[in-house]
Structure 1
Amino acid sequence: MERRSQTPAGPPGPVTHRWTLARGSYLEYQRIAGILRKETVGGALLLLATVAALVWANSPARDAYFALRDFRVGYEPWHLELSVGHWASDGLLAIFFFVAGLELKREFVAGDLRRPSTAAVPIVAACGGVLLPALIYAGIILGTGSDGLKGWAIPTATDIAFALAVLAVISTHLPAALRTFLLTLAVVDDLIAIAIIAFFYGTGVQPGLLGLALVPLGLFAFLVQKRIHASYLLLPLAVATWALVHTSGIHATVAGVLLGFTVPVLRSAKNGGPEAGPGLAETLENRVRPLSAGIAVPVFAFFSAGVALGGWEGMAAAATDPIAVGIAVALVVGKSVGVFGSTWLVTKTRHASLDPDLKWVDVFGIALLAGVGFTVSLLIAELSFGSSPHGEHAKTAILAGSLTAALLAAVVLRLRNRHYRLVEQAELVDADRDGIPDVFQRDPQ
């Protein structure tokens, strides 16, 4: 299949038209492809951990599961005597958010999102995918007199690892542009989720302890700015920052993001400049991402997704809980319409056209996939409702809504898989031709 292009082959000439969801630079394509492979493996482990938790929590040995999850360990004088489940959500998940912080900074400093014209589409799409689900959830809750409004942020998050696991299961040949769009959408979505957790889900914030956390954070920043990445120096400072942020009343996962933001993305000038190779952020990301995707997130899912469904009666109770209904509808309808509608709107206002290899049904498939909210949604559900019946119903709704969104996305994307296979073949030809795809023959923005 030949790539369709609006400009002839040859040196780049004047650009007269903008393309939306066109492929980015070849180096960016290679980097994102590597990330996607790691996230796909992590997503498979995430699925296994979720199934194992659900099976154990609804088996005759369910009491052992909840006893393990609620078993407390730690040092109480430092406010660190936590249950195993809280160690997973407050501790291990900080590793996930550290990687998210590195990825966010990498995208906005050296990735495709550093260009406003390229960043506009995923940023607006992510904002629409957060705003509309929150409004739908609030609308459903307000009409019932329930006290569940504090869970408004639960359906706003997208779980990229779970979404990529779905893609791996259905074996779709999704074009690079759509995969990149999904990843960058999730990156911006993570940034919004981090801000929501920091500003809306802190409890009893103690400014003194929060200020004290700046000391190890500042030392960590000083070392990484000097390109020092010895674990025996950085790890104690990171743990101290995490512990102080946790004790201050701000959710401890925010510490992971702050630590990630301090790491330089580009190489220092004396070491050859940005073109000399990856900076420290990418080096640390390559080290920590396997730990995040392979251990931290699956373990968190194992202790968070174990919901006692209670048979048909329990599921019926969840189905009649406005909180559960609001979450499920917001994930499936709010996310898909919010992401798709925002993408369509920003395209029309920028007077740009969709890449000729794609159709709007492809964007809708990705928008449906964005409704797979899992890791961060489960975290916000715990922060909102704890282990109350509403909390259990919220988790059930997250699982049901994410599964429904994944199945609908699988149907839409599989119907287009034959076309995707042809596009993939063209992309491989482009990549083999002197190592440079024909994205340089037309406007990459």
Structure 2
Amino acid sequence: MTQARPRKVILGLLPWPERQAVAEALRTETVGGLVLLAAAVIALVWANSPWSEVYERIRDFHFGVPALGLDLSVGHWTADSLLALFFLVAGIELKREFVVGELRTPATAALPVIAAVCGMVIPAALYALTATIGGGSLEGWAVPMATDIAFALAVLAVLSTHLPAALRAFLLTLAVVDDLGAILIIAVFFTSDLEFWALGGAFAGLVVFHALQRFRVRGWWWYAPLGIATWALMYTSGVHATVAGVALGLILRTTRDKGEDTAPAARVSHLLHPVSAGVAVPLFALFAAGVGVSAGTLTHVFTDPEPLGVVVGLVAGKILGIFLGTYLAARFTRARLNPDLAWADVFGLATLAGIGFTVALLIGELAFPAGAEGEHIKAAVLVGSLIAAALADVLLRRRNSIYRRLCEKEDRDDDADGIADIYQSRARLGSAG
């Protein structure tokens, strides 16, 4: 009789290099999330203040190179160029996970991939169901699919003092898969009429970029101009320009050569991560989250089928998708949940994943490029994210208090055991004397 293979533990303790990488990413994203939150608050206050016209004039001010088709508004520059830096860093994180991270083997990748896919499919399905019942448009089906990892980690950092570190690691890994899904959706479904000469030029730029990496060519003066040219050609081709950032990130080498202190991808990520988290994404939020909030706007959010579908997808869809995906993966594969974690922790994490901000706003702008409907979709993203954050606050604070009490009990037990050992030692010394 053959002995059954042991089931693989999910959300267990990561190897030391992985824990270092996760901890560094958490620190960066948490700070970036707080800056992002501040930018979103400033945008909302500014757009609803007496100076709202100034906000709109700045956001809609055009500049660039018209001859190259790059005469864009400030708002579009932040979405098409600055977010390319965000997706460049995301591409590096994706490749790291596929090469040396949790996604490098099917066994370890199964649960976060299944959870993330379910966390994208079910929100889209709930949006489609809500919009169809209400007789609305299906154009915004992809809006509630994306989780904002910076916001989610910032909220988790504020709430968590005793929650298991593995829960944070799982959120980060799930978000990497979620980002990949969002990138594919933008590339496939939100591509306008193609200019094949420009697309061919962008592809040629990526090939040259790969050749420079393969032949170990050093020097930023090679890569920076080539990256900018590739981005411009990608934008001109009709494919969303942020795809260029992801492609460049995936090409960068993540393994070190002999004699190298760090791989090129790690060096670029180290340099650009603060710029992405502290400048690019907050500036995008500043000019994307400025929605006029009024009783009429909120009425549209909860009565119009498209905005309501976004709210339902972000709140109910993410909870159902991620929780059920995790449960099914643990139930029907050889993987299992870490014994130190409860399903209530996973439920709280699934609720937290309903915070969809940066990428959700970007997809909302692509699906509804202008008009009041686009503003209502933006408001729906903000409302849905706020509801998800509030629910996660309640659930995770409760879980945190439970873990805190357990930790305090263990400390008291340790202290009692220590005192007992002292008295026993004294008693032995006394009898010996």
Corresponding residue for residue 71 of structure 2: 81
Gaps of 5+ in 2: 409-433
Contact map agreement 2:357 2:381 (CA 8 A) in 1:
yes
Cα shift at 1:102: 0.5
Distance across 1 between alignment mates of 2:407 and 2:362: 36
Contact map agreement 1:182 1:366 (CA 8 A) in 2:
yes
Residues 329 and 172 from structure 1, CA distance in 2 versus in 1: closer, same or farther, beyond 3 angstroms?
farther
- Residue 246 of structure 2 is aligned to residue 262 of structure 1: no
- Residue 356 of structure 2 is aligned to residue 373 of structure 1: yes
Corresponding residue for residue 332 of structure 1: 315
> Which has the higher mean CA deviation after the structures are superposed, 381-390 or 210-219?
210-219
Instruction: Give the counterpart letter for 2:19 in structure 1.
Output: Y
Residues 336 and 172 from structure 1, CA distance in 2 versus in 1: closer, same or farther, beyond 3 angstroms?
farther
Q: Spell out, residue by residue over 1:1-57, the C-alpha distance to the aligned partner (whole angstroms, 9 max, x if none).
A: xxxxxxxxxxxxx96333222122121011110110000000000000000000000
Question: Structure 1 length as normaliser, TM-score?
Answer: 0.88
Distance across 2 between alignment mates of 1:378 and 1:229: 37
Cα shift at 1:312: 1.4
Corresponding residue for residue 220 of structure 2: 231
Corresponding residue for residue 388 of structure 1: 371
Equivalences for residues 13-412 of structure 1 within 5 A: 16-146=6-136, 148-268=137-257, 271=258, 278-309=262-293, 311-412=294-395
Q: Please give the secondary structure, in 2, of the residue aligned with 1:117.
A: helix
Q: Please give the secondary structure, in 2, of the residue aligned with 1:81.
A: strand
State the superposition RMSD in angstroms. Answer: 1.8
Cα shift at 1:424: 8.5
- Aligned-residue sequence identity (percent) comes to 52
Contact map agreement 1:175 1:424 (CA 8 A) in 2:
no
Instruction: Give the counterpart letter for 1:322 in structure 2.
Output: P
Instruction: Give the counterpart letter for 1:195 in structure 2.
Output: L
Instruction: Give the counterpart letter for 2:71 in structure 1.
Output: E
Contact map agreement 2:134 2:304 (CA 8 A) in 1:
no
Q: Spell out, residue by residue over 1:115-172, the C-alpha distance to the aligned partner (whole angstroms, 9 max, x if none).
A: 21111000000000000000000001111222x2111000000000000111223244
Distance across 2 between alignment mates of 1:256 and 1:302: 21
Question: Structure 2 length as normaliser, TM-score?
Answer: 0.90
Residues 424 and 17 from structure 1, CA distance in 2 versus in 1: closer, same or farther, beyond 3 angstroms?
farther
Contact map agreement 2:297 2:379 (CA 8 A) in 1:
no
> Which has the higher mean CA deviation after the structures are superposed, 24-33 or 48-57?
24-33
Instruction: Give the counterpart letter for 1:353 in structure 2.
Output: R
Q: Please give the secondary structure, in 1, of the residue aligned with 2:70.
A: coil
Contact map agreement 1:100 1:187 (CA 8 A) in 2:
yes
Distance across 2 between alignment mates of 1:324 and 1:139: 13
Q: Spell out, residue by residue over 1:349-381, the C-alpha distance to the aligned partner (whole angstroms, 9 max, x if none).
A: 014432111100000011111111000000000
Instruction: Give the counterpart letter for 1:130 in structure 2.
Output: M
Contact map agreement 2:135 2:305 (CA 8 A) in 1:
no
Contact map agreement 1:57 1:308 (CA 8 A) in 2:
yes
Instruction: Give the counterpart letter for 2:353 in structure 1.
Output: A
Gaps of 5+ in 1: 1-13, 426-445
Contact map agreement 2:160 2:396 (CA 8 A) in 1:
no
Contact map agreement 2:300 2:307 (CA 8 A) in 1:
no
Cα shift at 1:422: 7.7
